[in-house]
Amino acid sequence: MYATRKTAVSKLLAIAMAIAMALTMTVSAFASDVQPYYDSETTIAGKVNVSSKTFTVTVQGPSSVTKVKMEATLYQKKLIGREEISTMSASSNSARCSKSQSAAIEKGKTYVIEVTAQVYSGGAWDTIEETITVKT
């Protein structure tokens, strides 16, 4: 009788441990990707101006940022896919970097600006990517 109780307790303990382990693995599987430290503090804005036929991108980091680099590509949406219209890059030795570039922009079209920015603070570079859609 004693051996039967011990076996039942051991089985229940083994089942409880298996459930706890499965729950731990499930929670780990839903963990989000690592985000750069300045991702939530850095803002990226982009706009397309039909009348001046330019597109502008501005990257604004927190005050602790000492350098900013950015690359931007302007695409025009097509029925299937999109067409690259223009690219630009810029850098600054401050927390703000802004640049305008002329491009063949048409009224009534949809444009996508893909921006990759790098901000430097505390001896490390963080990369932030942003996609901006603009309808003219």
103-122 tens-digit pLDDT: 999 999 999 999 999 999 98
Q: Is 108 helix (H, G, I), strand (E, B) or coil?
A: coil
Q: What is the model's pLDDT at position 2?
A: 54
Integer Cα distance of 129 and 110 in angstroms: 20
Predicted local confidence at residue 109, as pLDDT: 94
Collect the ranges in the chain with pLDDT lower than 50: 1
Provide, for the chain, the percentages of residues in helix, strand and coil under a 3-state DSSP scheme, each rounded to the nearest 5: 20, 50, 30
CB contact set of 89 (below 8 Å; sequence gap of 6+): 69, 70, 71, 72, 99
pLDDT at 35: 53
The alpha-helical segments, DSSP class H, found in the chain are 2-29
pLDDT of residue 94: 94
Q: State the pLDDT at residue 4.
A: 56
Report angle CA 91, 94, 99 to the nearest 5 degrees: 40
Q: Considering the entire predicted model, what is its pTM?
A: 0.70
Whether 37 and 64 have beta carbons less than 8 Å apart is answered as: no
Helix (H, G, I), strand (E, B) or coil at 121: strand
As given in the structure block, the two tokens for residue 47 are 């706009």
What is the reported pLDDT for 16? Answer: 78
